[in-house]
Chain A
Amino acid sequence: MPTTATYTEPVLRRIDVTAPLVADGSAAGSDQIKIATEHVSIKYGEKVAVKDVTLTVQARSILALIGPSGSGKSTFLRCFNRMNDLIPGAKVQGQVCLDGENVTDQDVSVVELRRRVGMVFQRPNPFPMSIYENVAYGPRRRGMNGRRQLDELVETSLKRAALWDEVKDDLRRKSGLALSGGQQQRLCIARVLATEPEVILMDEPASALDPVSTLRIEELMRELREAYTIVIVTHNMQQAARVSDVTAFFTMADDRAGYLVEVGPTGRIFTRPTERLTEDYISGRFG
């Protein structure tokens, strides 16, 4: 993992308590567990949006979250980098462990957590500044100032996001807003890569893009998988099938609370799902 080389020691906790965690692994990637959730429930006020989800994500693999609208996929995704903290009334129960550390504890530094767990949003959201400054934004905020160092990081990040060739000539002059939608989304990915994360969360990253840009993003994800752990929410069944190693199917219970129906290797989920609900959903959309 070349980009995470600068991390000497990932210290999330201000108070150092490390609870080792044992969970059963499944499928693909390495056999190291990157993320594990245990009995995670998320409420908005009184409304339960996600109910009792337990799953694990292997390091350097891609997990796809699929399921009908309102089944809590985005809500669940946001618990990995604690973006739910920003939503008034949102409450997360249960454990979310990153490398065995429970990140839902109040003494965990969200700033540090979000550097390790980056996020790409549904709508590309480049900042109104130059392409260069967009990518350098994260590193600058954690105190990287050296011109050479930044130049290098911006270049490698843009290269990894497969955007470098298209923008290298006016990095500093062109605003991030002046790019096409697909380019903007790759810029947002480069921006996340520049913070040198270990995990990248993507909430329908290609849903606002044309088919060609979508394929580029998918290719990119396959490449990034070599170095990063990726969790993606998608409504596009083909995309989940093409891109992911593991697929988790969410749906809503009668009380409209989202829950995990089943999770397993993508190939199996799409060919031989064990649950009736999964089969219905996949054949309805996929067949």
Chain B
Amino acid sequence: MAQLTNTYRATGLRAAPSLRQRIDLPRRVVFGAAASMIFIVVLLLAFITWQGLQLFIKDGVSIGQILSPTWQPDSTSPNLSFGLLPFIAGTVYVTALALLISTPVSVGLALFLSEVAPGWARAIVQPALEIFVGIPSVVWGWLGITILVPFLSHTFHGGMVLSLPIAGDVFRVPGFLTGFSWLAGSLVLSIMIVPTITSVSYDAFRAVPQELRTGSLALGTTRWQTIRHLLIPSALTGVLTAIVLGMTRAAGEALAVQMVIGNSPSMPAAITQPVTTLTSQITLDMGNTVFGEPWQDALWTMSLVLLVISISSVVLVRVINKRRMGA
């Protein structure tokens, strides 16, 4: 490089070296920032992994015990057990139900905004969604406690039964004890992830070229057929990405969920019963533990599980989008 620069000097072409000098400084800054960013991330990952593995290495807890449903982490307890299954199952179930509720609503809203809504409706809904995102979790949790939880315990305290004429009771759920429940957690989450799923799928629908819509309509299809058979398949990878992002957000949300979920460290039995999740248990317990004791190591293991969940979803998004490129 230096030689090349000298050659330019020698031939009197000074433009090239001066150009180099101008690029150099910003480049160094950017590289430096990127490098330190990567360094910090790697350090964090290594730290959480290390801490998360202590439960196995230092405390000699087996994987089998981790996957048991019994959670008795207090060192004074006679039969100490670090079963994380209730938390993992709680996170999975609460997130799954939230997605089940939120996805149709959000994707429907995205479709409406992108395909049906007149400009002014879009102009109202989009900023509204942005405001939505900005509402802190504690506010959602508070609304959950003051409105949703009492509403649920009032309305469904007798439980829910779905009876069909011939099949009989196809679906029966015991009544709410207090309203703090799996369902309450999922409902609060489902509202919180609406903006994520909506805006990402909206972008996916907008990314479908207009000429494809025109091409479809020109073949004598209805607007609904065009949405159903052209738009949704074309935007599918984007919509799946949106759902995965919503899932990540839901699985990682702690505060709002913890406020309405009842926090009972037992396996989720029914949507009307209290459950707990990885995040809510970590926030609840972290004040009660001492650094280095097995209980705290178990919380680190729970963080590691969360980390694995979110890394998997990042990978999942990548795989989904690779597919799109390949198609």
CB distance from A123 to the nearest CB of B (A): 6
Q: Which of A86, A129, A192 contacts B219 (CB 8 A)?
A: A192
Q: Which of A83, A112, A137, A140 contacts B214 (CB 8 A)?
A: A83
Q: A123 with B327: in contact, given A111-B221, A195-B220 (CB under 8 Å)?
A: no
Please report which residues of chain B, range 188-246, place their CB below 8 angstroms from some CB of chain A when the two chains form the complex: 209, 211-212, 214-222, 225, 229-230, 233-234
A111, B226: Cα distance in complex, Å: 12
Q: Which of B209, B212, B220, B230 contacts A142 (CB 8 A)?
A: B220
Q: Which of B217, B221, B230, B327 contacts A86 (CB 8 A)?
A: B217
Quick check: B219 and A121 within 8 Å, CB to CB? no
Q: A141 with B225: in contact, given A114-B219, A125-B214, A195-B220 (CB under 8 Å)?
A: yes
Q: Which of B211, B217, B233, B234 has the most CB of A within 10 A?
A: B217
Asked if A127 is an interface residue, CB under 8 A from chain B, the answer is yes
Which residues does chain A contribute within 8 Å of B215, judged by CB atoms? 121, 125, 127, 188, 191
Please report which residues of chain A, range 107-149, place their CB below 8 angstroms from some CB of chain B when the two chains form the complex: 110-116, 118-119, 121, 123, 125, 127-129, 137-138, 140-142
A137, B217: Cα distance in complex, Å: 11
Quick check: A127 and B234 within 8 Å, CB to CB? yes
A114, B220: Cα distance in complex, Å: 5
Q: Considering only CB atoms and an 8 Å cut-off, how many residues of chain A contact the other chain?
A: 28
A192, B327: Cα distance in complex, Å: 23
Quick check: A114 and B218 within 8 Å, CB to CB? yes
Quick check: A118 and B218 within 8 Å, CB to CB? yes
Query: Chain A: interface secondary structure?
Result: helix
Q: Which of A127, A140, A192 has the most CB of B within 10 A?
A: A127
**A122 nearest in chain B by CB position:** B211
Quick check: A138 and B212 within 8 Å, CB to CB? no
**B228 nearest in chain A by CB position:** A141
A119, B218: Cα distance in complex, Å: 6
Asked if A93 is an interface residue, CB under 8 A from chain B, the answer is no
CB distance from B10 to the nearest CB of A (A): 47
A118, B221: Cα distance in complex, Å: 11
Q: A141 with B221: in contact, given A127-B230, A127-B234 (CB under 8 Å)?
A: yes
Asked if A175 is an interface residue, CB under 8 A from chain B, the answer is yes
A71, B166: Cα distance in complex, Å: 68
Q: A137 with B219: in contact, given A128-B327, A175-B327 (CB under 8 Å)?
A: yes
CB distance from B98 to the nearest CB of A (A): 31
Which residues does chain A contribute within 8 Å of B230, judged by CB atoms? 127, 137
CB distance from A108 to the nearest CB of B (A): 12
Which residues does chain B contribute within 8 Å of A129, judged by CB atoms? 233
Q: A115 with B219: in contact, given A121-B211, A125-B211, A141-B229 (CB under 8 Å)?
A: yes
Quick check: A125 and B209 within 8 Å, CB to CB? yes
Quick check: A191 and B219 within 8 Å, CB to CB? yes
**B213 nearest in chain A by CB position:** A86
Quick check: B217 and A195 within 8 Å, CB to CB? no
Which residues does chain A contribute within 8 Å of B225, judged by CB atoms? 141
Which residues does chain A contribute within 8 Å of B209, judged by CB atoms? 125
CB distance from A13 to the nearest CB of B (A): 15
Asked if A81 is an interface residue, CB under 8 A from chain B, the answer is yes
A142, B216: Cα distance in complex, Å: 12
Quick check: A137 and B220 within 8 Å, CB to CB? no
Please report which residues of chain A, range 168-199, place their CB below 8 angstroms from some CB of chain B when the two chains form the complex: 175, 188, 191-192, 195
Q: Which of B215, B216, B218, B233 has the most CB of A within 10 A?
A: B218
CB distance from A4 to the nearest CB of B (A): 14
Q: Which of A81, A123, A128, A142 contacts B218 (CB 8 A)?
A: A81
Which residues does chain A contribute within 8 Å of B234, judged by CB atoms? 127-128
Which residues does chain B contribute within 8 Å of A119, judged by CB atoms? 218
Which residues does chain B contribute within 8 Å of A118, judged by CB atoms? 218-219
Quick check: B218 and A111 within 8 Å, CB to CB? no
Which residues does chain A contribute within 8 Å of B327, judged by CB atoms? 128, 175
Quick check: A111 and B220 within 8 Å, CB to CB? yes
CB distance from A74 to the nearest CB of B (A): 12
CB distance from A236 to the nearest CB of B (A): 21
CB distance from B218 to the nearest CB of A (A): 4
CB distance from B216 to the nearest CB of A (A): 7
**A78 nearest in chain B by CB position:** B218
**B217 nearest in chain A by CB position:** A86
Quick check: A138 and B214 within 8 Å, CB to CB? no
A141, B215: Cα distance in complex, Å: 13
Bitwise, A75-87 to B at CB < 8 A (1) or not (0) is 0000001010010
7 contacts between A and B (CB under 8 A): A83-B217, A119-B218, A129-B233, A137-B230, A140-B229, A175-B327, A195-B220
| Interface of A toward B, CB cutoff 8 Å | 81, 83, 86, 110-116, 118-119, 121, 123, 125, 127-129, 137-138, 140-142, 175, 188, 191-192, 195
Q: Given A119-B218, A129-B233, A141-B221, 16 more contacts at CB 8 Å? A: A83-B214, A83-B217, A111-B221, A115-B219, A118-B218, A123-B211, A125-B209, A125-B215, A128-B233, A128-B327, A137-B219, A140-B229, A141-B219, A141-B229, A142-B220, A191-B215
Leading 5 A-B pairs by shortest Cβ distance: A115-B220, A114-B220, A138-B219, A119-B218, A125-B215
